[in-house]
């Protein structure tokens, strides 16, 4: 019983992290039809900027400790606004409608560039921004001590998901985005400003990636290469959910999070590849993922 | 293939063989590495010609390397040619199994599923510490060639000639494949899969066989890398390795079989120089080069060769 509870709790925490790293990727794919390999680097960038800003924030001990959470949030938005628009307008814009292999490799090139840019900007030494993590103290659940920070992570993931849902389904701009997802060409003919939709969605996706990174920063030592592993995890999560579907990303994250937590506690040997196993099984049963619609083959 | 192309191929082969004897040892090492990776890149190109982008060819690369490693360390098989065969056949066997599932998918789903399989294999290699040595990997002792042991000083040169021999044989086989009904079917699948099916061709068979053959190439490349480097680790199966293959494939272009090999060798040279002169920014240099090529030479570096050839062909027609 206790193990079950721990698996559930661990799984939920891991799922919220997975959702944060996956949802931006699936959003970008849904609208731009580009699978962004550099997503992991944007996550890493968010982690670095978050860590640097938090460390700077705590230079002055008189500052309000809980303010550091807003600093993390600011870091994510900052990264999104600085990196998102130039990347989309300068580079990805030229790739729309091209060979998918070329699109993939362009984002792979961006990944390589960003990985080194991070080393140039921030150096190769680790950053420790642990303060926000310990700030909230621990909570005892079923005899196990959990940091409150994990609950905060869950809260951040749920809030981000809910806001995104409201944005897409309840605002005018969101409706336009849905129209573009269904048919970009007809949307343009109807007078929708396609470039604006693209640049906004991409920036939003980058902010989400950076948000995942920024809120991860207090839990880890921020070192070069943290984005490399993230990208394949994010891929797995959104492929399970169905490419282009934020709801799918949530479900995919939940499945992967719970299964991995179960593996860690029950059969630790499986930990590293259980995620890919789940992904393979889901694709076998439902090739297009759980939430995406099957596409008609054209002659 | 006319006599002229055969002649050119033979000259290039002899040139490379001669280069091995003249060039300093470290260049030979890089060339060998380039040729071995070139085989893996060729396998990515074969699949691309059938319209499939694999982001998991590293699986077969690692499978070949580890199969040879186990045969050397555990079964006591030291003969290089047998090890090469073991590596290629293991990779093909694995592909025959995975292919049953994966060849039902296309486009991004094929890419992601291949990525998943290679990452799962990576997980196995890391976790099965007792058998694979985990992330430490396995050291590969020098093999024997035709039962003759290789002297330590000669190892690089011998491996180079092994790689060159493998590449020559494989290029011949790929040529045969490309001009066989199977090769044409695979190319037609890329153009329009549904039409191929309507015309009575078996899309499934063409893709499945191409997938298995491509895996064999990768396995062979893996064994050669194991010989060259003398050490194998799970990184061989990591997604960045597969990404590198796709990267090099597009760098060279997919229209010729010589392009992947040339670009793999070039890539190794660029990489080692970039690594020497810009140790913290060599990936950035590679990324920028790639972006420049995508925007100015979307067909890859081979476009330059084709451009150079075109006027000459025009003259021939007139003459």
Give the gyration radius of chain A's Cα atoms: 19
* Paired strand residues for B79: B144
Q: What is the pLDDT of residue A297?
A: 53
Q: What is the DSSP track for A180-242?
A: HHH-HHHHHHTT--HHHHHHHHHHHHHHHHHHHHHHHGGGS-B-TTHHHHHHHHHHHHHHHH-
Which residues have C-beta within 8 Å of that of residue B164, sequence separation ≥ 6? Answer: B13, B16, B17, B20, B35
- To the question of pTM greater than 0.95 for the whole model, the response is no
If DSSP codes are grouped into helix, strand and coil, which group holds residue B148? strand
Which residues have C-beta within 8 Å of that of residue A42, sequence separation ≥ 6? Answer: A24, A79, A83, A114, A206, A209, A210, A213, A227
- Residue B318: pLDDT band by 50, 70, 90 thresholds? very low
Cβ of A273 and B124 within 8 Å? Answer: yes
Q: Cα(B314)–Cα(B319) distance, rounded to whole angstroms?
A: 9
Can you count the helices (H) and strands (E) in chain B? 14, 4
Q: Give the mean pLDDT of B131-152.
A: 78
Q: Give domain status of residue A226, yes or no.
A: yes
Q: Cα(A185)–Cα(B14) distance, rounded to whole angstroms?
A: 55
Neighbour-count burial of A58, counting CB atoms closer than 10 A to its CB (0-12 exposed, 13-18 middle, 19+ buried): middle
Q: Give ∠ CA A248-A90-A185 in degrees, rounded to 5.
A: 55
Pick from B72, B81, B78, B94: which is nearest to B218 by CA? B94
Phi, psi of A54 (to 5 degrees): -65, -40
Pick from B228, B227, B241: which is nearest to B69 by CA? B227
Pick from B172, B5, B249: which is nearest to A105 by CA? B249
B98 and A CB contact within 8 Å: no
Pick from B216, B222, B61, B220: which is nearest to B140 by CA? B222
Pairing of strands B144-145, A144-147: unpaired
Which of A27-41, B234-248, B268-282 is predicted with the least confidence, judged by mean pLDDT? B268-282
Q: What is the pLDDT of residue B158?
A: 85
- Residue A296: pLDDT band by 50, 70, 90 thresholds? low
Cβ of B194 and A297 within 8 Å? Answer: yes
Q: Give domain status of residue A14, yes or no.
A: yes
Instruction: Please report residues of B whose CB lies closer than 8 A to that of A119.
Output: 280-281
- Residue B319: pLDDT band by 50, 70, 90 thresholds? very low
Q: Given a cut of 90, is residue B253 above it in pLDDT?
A: no
Q: Give domain status of residue A157, yes or no.
A: yes
Cβ of A287 and B123 within 8 Å? Answer: no
Percent above pLDDT 70 for chain A? 97
Q: Give domain status of residue A299, yes or no.
A: no
Average pLDDT of chain B to the nearest whole number: 84
* Paired strand residues for A140: A145
Q: What is the pLDDT of residue B317?
A: 45
Cβ of B105 and A280 within 8 Å? Answer: no
**A271: nearest CA in chain B?**
B123
If DSSP codes are grouped into helix, strand and coil, which group holds residue A141? strand
Residues 258-287 of B with CB under 8 A from A: 280-284, 286-287
Q: Cα(B41)–Cα(B291) distance, rounded to whole angstroms?
A: 19
Instruction: Please report residues of B whose CB lies closer than 8 A to that of A108.
Output: 243, 246-247, 287, 290
User: What is the DSSP secondary structure assignment for residue B149, as one 8-state letter?
Assistant: E
Average pLDDT of chain A to the nearest whole number: 86
Instruction: Identify the domain containing residue A98 by its residue range.
Output: 2-285
**B297: nearest CA in chain A?**
A102
Q: Give the mean pLDDT of A78-99.
A: 89
Query: What is the number of domains present in chain A?
Result: 1
Over residues B94-111, the pLDDT tens digits come to: 999 988 888 888 777 788
Q: Given a cut of 90, is residue A3 above it in pLDDT?
A: no
Cβ of A299 and B192 within 8 Å? Answer: yes
Cβ of B247 and A120 within 8 Å? Answer: no
Q: Give domain status of residue A293, yes or no.
A: no
**A33: nearest CA in chain B?**
B108
HEC secondary structure over A58-102: CCCCCCCCCHHHHHHHHHHHHHHHHHHHHHHHHCHHHHCCCCHHH
The CATH code of the domain that includes A145 is: 1.10.3470
Over residues B23-64, the pLDDT tens digits come to: 888 888 888 888 899 999 999 999 988 888 888 899 999 999
Q: What is the pLDDT of residue A202?
A: 94
Query: Do residues A133 and A64 lie in contact, with contact meaning Cβ atoms separated by under 8 Å?
Result: no
Cβ of A279 and B112 within 8 Å? Answer: yes
Q: Give the mean pLDDT of A258-271.
A: 85
Across the interface, of B113, B246, B288, the residue whose CB is closest to A105 is B246
A269 min Cα distance to partner chain B (Å): 6
Over residues A181-210, the pLDDT tens digits come to: 888 889 899 999 999 999 999 999 999 999
Cβ of A106 and B104 within 8 Å? Answer: no
Residues 127-186 of B with CB under 8 A from A: 127
* Whole-Å CA distances, B174 to B170, B205, B214, B250, B262: 6, 17, 10, 18, 16
Q: What is the pLDDT of residue A24?
A: 92
If DSSP codes are grouped into helix, strand and coil, which group holds residue B79? strand
Which of A132-136, A241-245, A270-274, B307-311 is predicted with the least confidence, judged by mean pLDDT? B307-311
Q: Give domain status of residue A103, yes or no.
A: yes
Q: Which residue has the tokens 């694709």?
A: A283
Over residues B266-280, the pLDDT tens digits come to: 888 888 888 888 777
Q: Cα(A8)–Cα(A257) distance, rounded to whole angstroms?
A: 9
Across the interface, of B48, B126, B280, the residue whose CB is closest to A120 is B280
Cβ of A272 and B126 within 8 Å? Answer: yes
Q: Give domain status of residue A290, yes or no.
A: no
Cβ of B286 and A91 within 8 Å? Answer: no
**B126: nearest CA in chain A?**
A272
Q: Given a cut of 60, is residue B205 above it in pLDDT?
A: yes
A12 min Cα distance to partner chain B (Å): 23
Is the ipTM, as predicted for this complex, more than 0.95? no
Q: Give domain status of residue A215, yes or no.
A: yes
Percent above pLDDT 70 for chain B? 96
Tokens of A1: 């019983």
Cβ of B284 and A113 within 8 Å? Answer: yes
* Buried residues in B219-246 as b, exposed as e (16+ CB within 10 A): bbbbbbbbbbbeebbbebbbbbbbbbbb
């Amino acid at each position: 019983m206790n193990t079950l509870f721990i698996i559930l709790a661990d799984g939920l925490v891991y799922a919220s992290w997975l959702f944060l790293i996956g949802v931006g990727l699936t959003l970008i794919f849904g609208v731009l039809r580009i699978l962004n390999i550099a997503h992991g680097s944007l996550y890493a960038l968010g982690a670095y900027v978050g860590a640097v800003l938090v460390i700077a924030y705590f230079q002055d001990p008189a500052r309000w400790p809980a303010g550091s959470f807003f600093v993390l949030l600011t870091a994510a938005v900052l990264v999104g606004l600085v990196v998102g628009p130039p990347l989309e307008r300068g580079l990805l814009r030229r790739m729309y409608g091209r060979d998918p292999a070329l699109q993939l490799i362009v984002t792979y090139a961006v990944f390589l560039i960003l990985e080194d840019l991070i080393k140039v900007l921030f150096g190769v030494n680790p950053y420790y921004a642990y303060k926000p993590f310990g700030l909230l103290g621990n909570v005892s659940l079923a005899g196990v001590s959990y940091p409150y920070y994990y609950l905060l992570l869950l809260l951040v993931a749920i809030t981000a998901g809910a806001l995104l849902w409201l944005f897409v389904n309840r605002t005018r701009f969101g409706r336009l985005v849905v129209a573009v997802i269904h048919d970009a060409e007809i949307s343009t003919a109807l007078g929708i400003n396609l470039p604006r939709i693209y640049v906004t969605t991409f920036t939003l996706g980058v902010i989400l990636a950076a948000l995942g990174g920024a809120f991860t920063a207090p839990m880890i030592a921020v070192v070069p290469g943290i984005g490399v592993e993230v990208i394949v995890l994010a891929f797995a999560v959104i492929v399970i959910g169905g490419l282009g579907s934020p709801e799918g990303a949530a479900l995919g994250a939940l499945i992967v999070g719970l299964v991995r937590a179960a593996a860690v506690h029950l059969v630790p040997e499986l930990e590293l590849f259980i995620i890919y196993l789940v992904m393979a099984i889901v694709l076998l049963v439902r090739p297009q993922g759980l939430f995406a619609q099957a596409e008609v083959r054209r002659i | 293939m006319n006599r002229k192309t055969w002649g050119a191929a033979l000259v290039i082969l002899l040139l490379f063989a001669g280069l091995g004897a003249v060039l300093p040892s470290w260049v030979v090492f890089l060339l060998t590495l380039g040729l071995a990776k070139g085989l893996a890149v060729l396998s990515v190109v074969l699949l691309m010609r059938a319209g499939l982008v694999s982001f998991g060819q590293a699986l077969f690369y690692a499978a070949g390397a580890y199969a040879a490693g186990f045969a050397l360390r555990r079964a006591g098989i030291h003969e290089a040619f047998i090890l090469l065969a073991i590596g290629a056949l293991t990779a093909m066997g694995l592909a025959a199994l995975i292919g049953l599932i994966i060849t039902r998918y296309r486009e991004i789903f094929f890419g992601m599923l291949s990525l998943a399989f290679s990452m799962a294999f990576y997980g196995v290699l890391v976790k099965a510490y007792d058998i694979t040595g985990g992330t430490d990997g396995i050291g590969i002792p020098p093999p024997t060639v035709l039962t003759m042991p290789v002297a330590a000083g000669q190892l690089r040169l011998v491996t180079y000639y092994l790689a060159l021999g493998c590449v020559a044989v494989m290029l011949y086989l790929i040529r045969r494949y490309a001009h066989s009904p199977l090769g044409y079917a695979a190319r037609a699948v890329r153009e329009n899969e549904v039409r191929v099916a309507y015309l009575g061709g078996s899309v499934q068979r063409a893709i499945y066989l191409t997938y298995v053959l491509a895996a064999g190439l990768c396995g062979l490349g893996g064994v050669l890398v194991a010989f060259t480097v003398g050490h194998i680790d799970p990184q061989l199966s990591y997604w960045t390795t597969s990404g590198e293959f796709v990267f090099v494939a597009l760098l060279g272009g997919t229209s010729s079989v010589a392009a992947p090999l040339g670009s793999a060798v070039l890539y190794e040279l660029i990489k080692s120089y970039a690594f020497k002169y810009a140790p913290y920014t060599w990936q950035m240099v590679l990324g920028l080069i790639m972006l420049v090529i995508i925007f100015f030479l979307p067909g890859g570096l081979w476009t330059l060769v084709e451009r150079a050839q075109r006027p000459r062909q025009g003259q021939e027609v007139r003459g």
